[in-house]
Structures are given as structure tokens and as C-alpha cells.
């Protein structure tokens, strides 16, 4: 009763009307964010006998994607950097998808040596790969934090790692006859720019968190170049933005940002919704033969940021990354 008195005087005040409008607006944003840009349930793609590799499969979007691929019969290789976290996810996915075709692989995508030994193990295990989802990523690492190999952690994990892994698995993808590569990029790529020097912790100035934006732009820029190089091989490559998704992606930010992200999480996607654009690129039959494209989180082909559209810039970056990963000294 005591509570009701102040409430009843509030009800007709302009601030209350404003508050209600904000809440309604928020609700609309939530419904819009979580609406389905593509109907996963009506996609009949069956993956029995197919081999899929998902990096960062133990958390967030990667876990949901792995679960759905396993449910459709694929043998899914969960590529995780931490054995315990990977094992835990494997048990969970096994239970929810009732699949017994899961395999855990250990790889740290910020380490070129780790990627090489993972690829070697994987190629022995599976000579053919039908789907590679480059999903693992980090955000919120301070600028110019270097790995023991002298690479910038953010650029190594989000760009150089997937570059090397994709190139090392190229033969297995081609052997599959028909295969897809999906790179999980970000809408933040639009705020990045391309500077090869960033890869080793040098290069042009970066605004707050712009290392993430640039690394995602580099990842996106390769869609076109790799697609060009794989023309006629039966392997298609595309990249996608999952949207704003409430996952562990903020783990390396301070508690203030993590708290803010939690506050707005009501208005964002959850991992189940965030996985849909990624699954669209992996599963949708209408994308057969489509390659070299960047998709928005509503599953629509979109132009990536300007630098990623310049063939000279993209080729020069490709060459620099080949040298950095010593890929030119192989095959
Ligand atoms: N969430 C969003 O709003 C959003 C928006 C746009 C794009 N994305 C992209 O979506 C992808 C998936 O992110 P998420 O939101 O699902 O975040 P998440 O829950 O943090 O998952 C990221 C995954 O990447 C793994 N990972 C990080 N560094 C790694 C390394 N060096 N080696 C191997 N694995 C590593 C993590 O493993 P650990 O658990 O061991 O750390 C985790 O499994 C990322 O590429 C992210 O950039 C997310
Ligand atoms: C994915 O990213 C890797 C590394 O950045 C790149 O080599 C490859 O071409 C990209 N593939 C797609 C589909 O964008
Ligand atoms: C990011 O945070 C996680 C969890 O707090 C930690 O294990 C990891 O080492 C951090 N990554 C980097 C590169 O600092
Ligand atoms: C990249 O390397 C190739 C072959 O090594 C060369 O032909 C090409 O001109 C280089 N492109 C750029 C932009 O550096």
C-alpha cells in the first residue's frame, strides 16, 4: 500500500510516459534482434558423413554452431585451446545433439607452431574436410600485446591464425569435392583499416579497441582473395557478421565494460540467435557456388569496408601474411 501511493501519482507524469516509451522501444529492439533472418528449422541440409571443423567451439557462437552441425550428422572437430573447457563442451554437445561423432582437437590460434601441429594431426585424422568455420576470436586485449612468436595477440588470433589454418587445410578442403569455409567476421570491420605492420605490433595508430576492428577487416579482406585463388576447386569461402551477441567475448575487458554489456544484453542476441547467420553460410543450399562474399547479420550480401575492396591492398596483405607465416617456404 505504501508503495502504491507514490506509484499512482507517477503514472500520469511525463517521465513515466517517457519511461514506458523507452521500455516499448527496447522491447521492439529485442524482438527485432532475435527475429530469424533465415529459417534454420526448415533447412533440410543433412551432413551425415561430412567432416566439419569449428574453432573456438567451447563457448558462445562456436558451441551452438557445433551442436547444430553435430545434430545434422556431421563429424565435428571441436578445435579449442584449452583441453578442460573443450572436454566440457564436448560432453555437453554430445548430450544435446545425441551425436557420438565428436572429436576434440587442441589449438592455440595465436601460435603459428600450435596451428601447424594441429593441422598435421587433423590431416592424419581426416584427409577430407567439408566445412571449416573460423570462429575463434578475441577482443579487448590491450594494443600491441605480443605473443612469444612476436605477433600481436589480437591480429594473430583473429587473422593470421585463421589465414595459416585455412591454407594448411586447403588440400583437405579440395579433396572433399565440395566444401565451404566460413569466417566469422564482425560489423566492427567497418571501423578498421589495413596496415600490414599491425601484425607484428607496429604500424599506424589505433583508437580504443581498434585493433579488433582492423583484425576483423583483414579477415574479411581475404574472402575475395582466397575465393579468387580457389575458383573452380569446388571450395567456396565467405565471411559473416553474427551481430551483437551476448557471449564471453567481453572477457578481456574491465568489469565496467562487462557490466555495461550485461546491462544491454536484454536488447542483443543470445548465442542461439548469433549462430544463425554463421549456420546460414555453412548450410543453406541457395549458397551453393557463391564465394568471396561478406554477409551482414541479417544474412544479406553486403560490401565490406573500402580497403577490403581494393585488390592491390588485399594482394599485398596476402603476400605479407604468406611471408610472415613462412607459407612461401612450403610446398
Ligand atoms: N559476440 C559478439 O557480439 C560478436 C560480434 C561480432 C563478431 N563476433 C565474433 O564471433 C566469434 C565468436 O565469438 P563469441 O561471441 O562466441 O565469443 P566467445 O564466447 O568468447 O567465444 C570465442 C571462442 O574463441 C576461442 N579463442 C579465443 N582465443 C583463442 C585462441 N588463441 N586459440 C583458440 N581459441 C581461441 C575462445 O576460447 P576460450 O574459451 O578458451 O577463451 C572461445 O571458444 C568471434 O570471432 C567474435 O569476434 C562476436
Ligand atoms: C578466412 O580468413 C583467412 C585468414 O584471414 C583467409 O585466409 C581466408 O581467405 C578467409 N576466408 C574467407 C572465407 O574469408
Ligand atoms: C583473457 O581473459 C582470460 C580469462 O580471464 C584469460 O585466461 C586470458 O589469458 C586473457 N587473454 C589474454 C590474451 O590476455
Ligand atoms: C604478390 O606476390 C605475387 C607473387 O609472388 C606477385 O606477382 C604480386 O605482384 C604481389 N602483389 C603485390 C601487390 O605485392
How much is the pTM? 0.90
Q: What is the pLDDT of residue 134?
A: 96
Instruction: Tell me which fold the domain 44-329 belongs to.
Output: Rossmann fold (3.40.50)
Q: What is the pLDDT of residue 330?
A: 66
- How many CA atoms lie within 13 Å of 79's alpha carbon, on the beta-carbon side? 25
Nearest atom (ligand 3) to Cα of 153: 13
| Residue 309 CB partners (closer than 8 Å, separation 6+) | 224, 303
For the stretch 261-300, pLDDT in tens is 998 898 899 999 999 999 999 999 999 999 999 999 999 9
> pLDDT band for position 329 (50/70/90)?
confident
Q: What is the pLDDT of residue 296?
A: 92
- Cα separation, 132 vs 122, in Å, equals 12
pLDDT at 85 over 70: yes
Strand, coil or helix: what is 86?
helix
For the stretch 35-51, pLDDT in tens is 888 899 999 999 999 99
More reliable by pLDDT, 208 or 119: 119
List the one residue out of 30, 38, 27 whose CA is nearest residue 298. Answer: 38
Q: Angle 194-137-283 (CA atoms, 0-180°, nearest 5)?
A: 100
Q: What is the pLDDT of residue 1?
A: 47
Ligand 1 first shell, C-beta below 6 A:
55-56, 58-62, 81-82, 85, 107-110, 135-139, 157, 184, 186, 241-242, 244-245, 247-249
User: Are the beta carbons of 299 and 273 closer than 8 angstroms?
Assistant: no
Which residue among 229, 311, 315 is best mutated to probe the pocket of ligand 4, counting the most ligand atoms within 8 A of its Cβ? 315
Q: What is the mean pLDDT of the chain?
A: 91
Q: Give the residue numbers annotated as catalytic, written as ranges.
A: 212
Q: Angle 168-83-262 (CA atoms, 0-180°, nearest 5)?
A: 100
User: What does the pLDDT average to over 226-243?
Assistant: 91
Ligand 4 centroid from CA 295, angstroms: 28
Q: Which helix (H) or strand (E) holds 77?
A: strand 75-80
Nearest atom (ligand 4) to Cα of 319: 1
Q: What is the pLDDT of residue 219?
A: 87
Q: What is the pLDDT of residue 189?
A: 84
- Cα separation, 292 vs 268, in Å, equals 28
Q: Write down the domain spans for the chain.
A: 44-329
pLDDT at 166 over 60: yes
User: What does the pLDDT average to over 313-323?
Assistant: 93
Residue 153 Cβ < 6 Å to ligand 3:
yes
Amino acid at each position: 500500500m505504501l508503495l502504491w501511493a507514490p506509484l499512482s501519482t507517477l503514472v500520469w507524469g511525463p517521465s513515466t510516459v517517457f519511461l514506458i516509451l523507452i521500455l516499448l522501444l527496447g522491447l521492439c529492439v529485442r524482438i527485432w534482434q532475435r527475429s530469424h533472418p533465415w529459417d534454420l528449422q526448415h533447412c533440410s541440409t543433412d551432413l551425415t558423413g561430412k567432416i566439419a571443423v569449428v574453432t573456438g567451439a567451447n563457448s558462445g557462437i562456436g558451441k551452438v554452431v557445433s551442436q547444430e552441425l553435430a545434430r545434422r550428422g556431421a563429424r565435428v572437430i571441436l578445435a579449442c585451446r584449452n583441453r578442460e573447457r573443450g572436454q566440457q563442451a564436448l560432453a555437453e554437445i554430445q548430450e544435446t545433439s545425441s551425436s557420438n561423432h565428436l572429436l576434440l582437437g587442441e589449438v592455440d590460434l595465436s601460435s603459428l607452431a600450435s596451428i601447424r601441429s594441429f593441422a598435421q594431426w587433423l590431416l592424419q585424422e581426416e584427409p577430407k574436410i567439408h566445412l571449416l568455420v573460423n570462429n575463434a576470436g578475441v577482443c579487448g586485449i590491450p594494443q600491441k600485446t605480443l605473443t612469444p612468436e612476436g605477433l600481436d595477440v589480437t591480429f594473430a588470433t583473429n587473422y593470421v591464425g585463421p589465414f595459416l589454418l585455412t591454407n594448411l587445410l586447403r588440400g583437405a578442403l579440395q579433396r572433399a569435392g565440395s566444401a565451404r569455409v566460413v569466417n566469422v567476421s564482425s560489423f566492427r570491420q567497418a571501423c578498421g583499416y589495413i596496415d600490414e605492420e599491425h601484425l607484428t605490433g607496429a604500424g599506424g595508430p589505433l583508437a580504443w579497441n581498434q585493433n579488433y576492428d582492423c583484425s576483423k577487416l583483414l579477415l574479411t579482406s581475404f574472402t575475395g582473395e582466397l575465393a579468387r585463388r580457389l575458383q573452380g576447386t569446388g571450395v567456396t569461402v565467405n565471411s559473416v557478421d553474427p551481430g551483437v551477441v551476448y557471449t564471453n567475448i567481453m572477457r578481456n575487458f574491465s568489469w565496467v565494460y562487462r557490466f555495461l554489456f550485461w546491462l544491454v544484453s536484454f536488447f542483443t542476441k543470445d548465442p542461439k540467435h548469433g549462430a544463425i547467420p554463421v549456420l546460414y553460410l555453412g548450410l543453406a543450399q541457395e549458397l551453393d557456388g557463391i564465394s568471396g562474399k561478406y554477409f551482414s547479420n541479417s544474412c544479406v550480401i553486403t560490401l565490406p569496408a573500402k580497403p577490403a575492396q581494393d585488390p592491390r591492398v588485399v594482394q599485398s596483405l596476402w603476400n605479407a601474411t604468406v611471408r610472415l607465416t613462412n607459407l612461401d617456404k612450403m610446398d
